[in-house]
Structure 1
Amino acid sequence: MKAIVHEQKVGVEGLTVKEMEEPMLGEKEVKVKVHTAGLNRRDLAVITKRHQPEDPALIPGSDAAGTVIEVGEKVSRFQIGDEVLVNPGLGWQKNSSAPPEGFEIVGLPDHGTFAQFYTSDENHFEAKPSHLSFEEAGVLSLAALTAYRALFTRGNLQKDQTVMLPGIGSGVLTFALKYAKAIGARVIVTSRSEDKLQQALTLGADRAIHTEDDWNEALHNESIDLLIESIGKATFDKSLNIIRKGGTVVTFGATTEDQIQLDIRKFFYGQYNLLGSTMGSAEELKEMLQFIEKHNIKPQLDRVFSLENYKNAFEYLRDTKNFGKIGISFNLD
């Protein structure tokens, strides 16, 4: 089978498309012919952190949607012909305050979804929502689930509240924008790009300001209940300075430096809440799928690249050109 493989060199330069052996099928496993696989910032991190030339060849990728073409003899949830999407989380079934020991994300250390075929336990797939195309379903799970847990499970966003999304444009934050508007919450976004601010307003954002602006000056009349922080050091102080006393910051990532300084006295006098969040459980994935079907929510699909243009896809994401999700097509028929 054809697959995107990372080996020998760090980063995008270590990627090639090559023939790989098709995965074997276990008795409780399902083999899926991949139609579209979604590209995430995690994939960039994976190929950047594999430094050793002797590291074995790895097929990255955490998201995909396709058609079941083979099932193990003890599979009960799916049959040949079913349209499914991949659950990118391994070993986290029930919702809990944190992932259990042994939790992993598809695409490292084992092979991921950037291939013509992907095989896994039947419990690591869900039925493709009927209102989504293969392209939309293929880019859904990781970002959509991350946004769902950060916004609702951790952030407990309510319809009469205001949420702020610094750095709008990523897959996660475009989902968070759509989720928040679906329940009637007020949404404020920031970006360094005027074009992305305008696109966010088109999607329903109530206010849009530049990330470099003085947020308190620009939003002096706003009370921010919840802020979803994914930038890191570059904006963290501004995030804590803008939320209301007793408000909450949920962080799920850092596109700038990880290390921050915190004025702990100001923090405890402000009665702030700082919460971490990581993707989500299979239980939350099922809840999220019901939520998007109920509200007819679709991914903000920026572009789907052909397999031969895979390097362009990685570079496009690396350079933060996207507004929403990026897919790679493995529909080679």
Structure 2
Amino acid sequence: MKALVLDGIDQPLQLREVPAPQPQPGEVRLRLQAAALNHRDVWIQKGQYAGLRFPIILGSDGVGLIEAVGEGVEPSCLGQQVLINPGFGWGDNPRAQGRAFNILGLPLDGTFAELVCVPRAHVHACPSHLTASQAAALPLGGVTAYRALFTRGQLQAGERVLITGIGGGVALLALQLALAAGAEVWVTSGQADKIERACQLGARGGISYHQPKWGLELARQAGGGFDLIIDSAAGPGVAQLVEAAAPGSRIVFYGGTVGTMQVPPARVFWKQLSLLGSTMGTTDDFTAMLALVDRARVLPVVDSVVPLAEGEAAMRRLESGQQFGKLVLSID
């Protein structure tokens, strides 16, 4: 089969022929139709991720047709179009993942290939209103956004939500899922056009995080502080999140791309804020996310679709931060 292979740190993805995987007991093999990129793939390529091994086929998100099954799997599923829940081995505690938790695409070969084998329990029917490219854009970002909003953030209809760094896949899905749940949503970005496009999707407004004291200004524009804030950057900007937060509100972090948080503790305890962390999600989170997407007919935002052979160029576009939505590889 053809696959994009990463041979080492800072090496380009190489399209080459590799042996086709064989489904083990309890597994299915998918002939992939589309796969989506995540920032995780860029971090692995740069060596900024734990448990590196090479060569590796990256890719956590994928959609395809079940073409073979391992021992113990009913053949009645053959031919079904499915998407992959890429988080394996969560464990028995729904409050946090266990030590065995891992994500497809490292340590196991992932979806930047024509074929992939995954546990039968980790494939789900694609929402019928989505194309293969849209469905491929959903899994990792969707479950991350859902858990941050609902499981950790306890979002309720009518609440004010702030989502930072709009334009990335998780942030956009958080916007769409929050709107589907009846929330009022505002956004931040370093680029005015991304704020404008978020407003076209339903955001009430937004602000540049380059603007001084943007937290207080955005809260003023929104008519009050935010009940829930979803952030992936951390760093110095957390001080502005604290200013934007309403008393008794929740701030959920699902990433830390800018670095160490700088939090004014007096503002946190005086405003009775809850600072929460969130990573990926459980099987229940994933199932609930799919149900909401199906019920609300959410359409994941796709920045562009390119052939598998152009995966390295797609990685560089993702790294540049210019995308609005998910970058998807089409696999014939």
1:1-333, aligned counterparts within 5 Å?
1-8=1-8, 10-11=9-10, 13-49=11-47, 55-76=53-74, 79-92=77-90, 96-213=94-211, 214-215=213-214, 216-220=216-220, 221-257=223-259, 259-331=260-332
Distance 1:250 1:18 in 2: 40
Q: Which amino acid aligns with 1:99?
A: Q
Judged with a 3 Å threshold, the aligned counterparts in structure 2 of structure 1 residues 287 and 77 are, in CA distance, closer, same or farther, namely farther
Structure 1 pair 81/164, CA: closer, same or farther in 2 (3 Å)? Answer: same
| Length-normalised TM-score, structure 2 | 0.94
Is the alpha carbon distance of 1:50 and 1:236 closer, same or farther for their aligned partners in structure 2, counting shifts above 3 Å?
A: closer
Q: Is the 8 A contact 2:238 2:263 kept in 1?
A: no
Deviation per CA, 1:208-237: give whole Å up to 9, x if none: 211112221343232210100111214211
Q: Is the 8 A contact 1:94 1:281 kept in 2?
A: no
- 1:264-301 C-alpha deviation (Å, 9 max, x unpaired): 23322221100000010111111111111000011111
Distance apart, 1:159 and its partner CA = 0.9
Following superposition, the deviation at residue 106 of structure 1 comes to 0.7
**For structure 2, which runs of at least 5 residues remain unmatched after alignment?**
none
Deviation of 1:173 after TM superposition, in Å, equals: 0.9
CA distance in 2, matches of 1:78, 1:126: 14
Report the more deviating stretch, 86-95 or 269-278.
86-95
Pair 1:94–1:205, CA change in 2 (3 A): farther
Whether the aligned pair in 2 keeps the contact of 1:147 and 1:176 (CA below 8 Å) is yes
Equivalent position amino acid for 2:127 in 1? P
Please report the TM-score for the alignment, with normalisation by the length of structure 1. Answer: 0.94
C-alpha distance 57-195 of structure 1, shift in aligned 2 (>3 A)? same
1:79-121 C-alpha deviation (Å, 9 max, x unpaired): 2110011111001266711112211111111211111000011
Shift of 1:262: 2.5
Q: CA separation in 2, counterparts of 1:68 and 1:95?
A: 30
Name the amino acid aligned to 1:230. Answer: S
Q: Which runs of 5+ in 1 are unaligned?
A: none
- Work out whether residues 149 and 284 of structure 1, in 8 Å CA contact, stay in contact via their aligned partners in 2: yes
Q: Deviations over 1:164-198 (max 9, x none)?
A: 01111111111111111112211011111111011
Question: Percent identity, aligned pairs only?
Answer: 36
Distance in 2 of aligned mates of 1:218 and 1:268: 21
Higher mean C-alpha displacement, 55-64 vs 199-208: 55-64
SS state at 1:32 partner:
strand
8 Å contact 1:95–1:280 — kept in the other structure? no
**What is the number of equivalent residue pairs in this alignment?**
327
Aligned mates of 2:59, 2:217 — CA distance in 1: 41
Tell me which moved more, 184-193 or 232-241.
Answer: 232-241
Q: 1:144 to 1:97 in 2, by over 3 A?
A: same
CA RMSD, aligned part only?
A: 1.8
CA separation in 2, counterparts of 1:244 and 1:50? 35
Report the residue type matching 1:3 in the other structure.
Answer: A
CA distance in 2 between partners of 1:250 and 1:60 (Å): 27
Tell me the distance in 2 between the aligned counterparts of 1:275 and 1:323: 26
What letter matches 1:251 in structure 2?
Answer: F
Structure 2 distance, partners of 1:56, 1:217, is 47
Change (3 A) 1:94 1:207: farther
